[in-house]
Amino acid sequence: MRNFKKLLCVVLVVLVAFSAASCSLTKQYAYQKDDIELPIGVYIFYLYQAYSEAQNYAQQTDAYDSATGRYNGKKSFLKVEITDSDDNTAVAEDWIKDKAKEYTRNAVAISIEANKLGATIDELGAKDMYSTINPYSIYNSSTGQLDYSLDQSLADVAANYEQFGIGFDSWLLCNASIAQTENAVFDKEYGEGGPLAVSTDEITKYFTENYYSYTTFSANLYTTEAGEDGSTENVALDKDEVKRYEDAFKSYAEEVSGGKSVDDVVAEYNEAFGAEATATPSVNKIDKDTTDELNKAILDLKEGEAAYKIIGDDENTRVIYLIYKAPIKDEIANYVDDETQRSTLLHEMKDEDFEQLIKDIIKENDIELSSACNGYQPSLFEKTK
C-alpha cells in the first residue's frame, strides 16, 4: 500500500540503515492492484493468527483432551469442527483459511478507503509506532527509551515468524500500520468534516442516554479479627451497631436528596464514626440486565436522588452504601469534550456501521486475493509444533 510502504520505510530509516530490500522482502503478493500492494507475508501472518484463534476454539470442544493435549486422539486439531464467538460452525482448517482471507481483504478495503479519504498515518512519529507494536514492543512509554535495539527486534521476528515466510515488513504492517490506518480511516469517516460525520450533539445525546453518573461511600457491617493461627475471619456487628449505621445512612441519603453534597455527609460520617471514608464518583454505561446489586440500586434512582443500600451474602459480609445518582449532563465536559473519551463514544456508536462499510467496500470492489495465497495451508504451522 502506498501509505503503508512509505511509512514503513520512514520508520525503519529513523532507527537504523537497512538495505534497499528491507521494504520488499518478497516478490510474492497477497494483493497487488493499482497502487495497493500487500506482500504475501501479510496473508501468512493472518493465517497464523486465525490458526491460533481456531486452536483456542478447538480446545473448548469435546474433542480436546487437556491431559494429553490431543484432539480425538490426534495431535492436529485441523479436522475438528469448531464454533467461533459468532456461533459460526466449521471444520477448523476451513475456518482458518476463510478467516485469513477475511482479515486480508479487510486490510485491502481499509487501504482503498484510506486513499479515497486521504487518511494517512505519516504524521505518526517513531515513538507512536513503537507503542503499537505487539508482541515485541521496543518502545517503553514509561521511560521514554527503547527497550532494546531494532536489531534485537528483527532477530525476534526472524526466530518466530520468518520460518513461516513472514518478513519483518509484513509483521510490522499487521502489528502497527494496518491498525493505525484503520483508525485514521474511521476518524476521517466519522470525524468532523467526514462524509459520515457524527455531530457533537449526536455524541452528547448518545452519552446522556446510555451512561449514568453516581457517587458512593460505604462502611462494613462487620469487623475482621485475627485467629491464633494467623488466619482472619469476619465477625458481624451486633444488631444495635448495625441499626446505628442504618439510621445514619438513611439520614445521609435524605440530606443528599435535599441538596447537601456527598462530601459534606462523608465528613459527618467520618466525625460520627471515627472513620476515614472518601466518596467515590463514577460513570458507568447503562446495563439494564445487570445482576450487580449496587448498580441495580443506582439505576432505580432518579438523578439528584440518594439512597442507602445494604449488600452482602450474609451477616459476615454485609456492606452499607450511600448512593447518589448525579446528573449525567455534568459529565459531558469530561467525556464528550475530552478527545480520548469522545473517541471511545464514537467507536461505540459507529463500530458496527464501520464494519459493514468495510464489507461493502470489499463487495463493491470485488476484492480477490492473489493465487499465491492458495500455496499456504494451516498445516504449515504444525510442522514446528
Domain ranges across the chain: 2-197+339-382, 205-333
Q: Which pTM value belongs to this model?
A: 0.79
pLDDT score for 168: 79
Residue 46 has pLDDT above 70, yes or no: yes
What is the Cα–Cα distance from 294 to 323, expressed in whole angstroms? 9
Q: Which residues are within 8 A (CB) of 189 and not within 5 positions of it... i.e. 6 or more apart?
A: 113, 117, 195, 196, 350, 354, 357
pLDDT in tens, 295-337: 999 999 999 999 999 999 999 999 999 999 999 999 999 999 9
3-class DSSP state of 21? helix
pLDDT tens-digit profile of 248-279? Answer: 999 999 999 999 999 999 999 999 999 999 99
- What was the pLDDT predicted at 35? 86
Distance from C-alpha of 15 to C-alpha of 151, rounded to nearest angstrom = 9
d(CA 196, CA 242): 57
* Angle, in degrees to the nearest 10, between helices 178-190 and 339-364: 100
Which residue type sits at 60?
Q
DSSP-assigned letter for residue 216: E
pLDDT tens profile 154-181: 666 767 888 899 987 888 888 778 888 8
Taking only the tens place, the pLDDT of each residue in 345-384 is 999 999 999 999 999 999 999 999 999 999 999 999 996 5
* 325, β-bridge pairs: 214
| 53-64 per-residue burial string, b: 16 or more CB within 10 A, e: under 16 | bbbebbbeeebb
- φ, ψ (nearest 5 deg) of residue 336: -65, -35
Question: Closest Cα to residue 56, out of 77, 87, 74?
Answer: 77
C-alpha cell at position 364: 463493491
Angle, helices 178-190/2-15, rounded to nearest 10 degrees: 130
Sign of CA dihedral 341, 342, 344, 349: positive
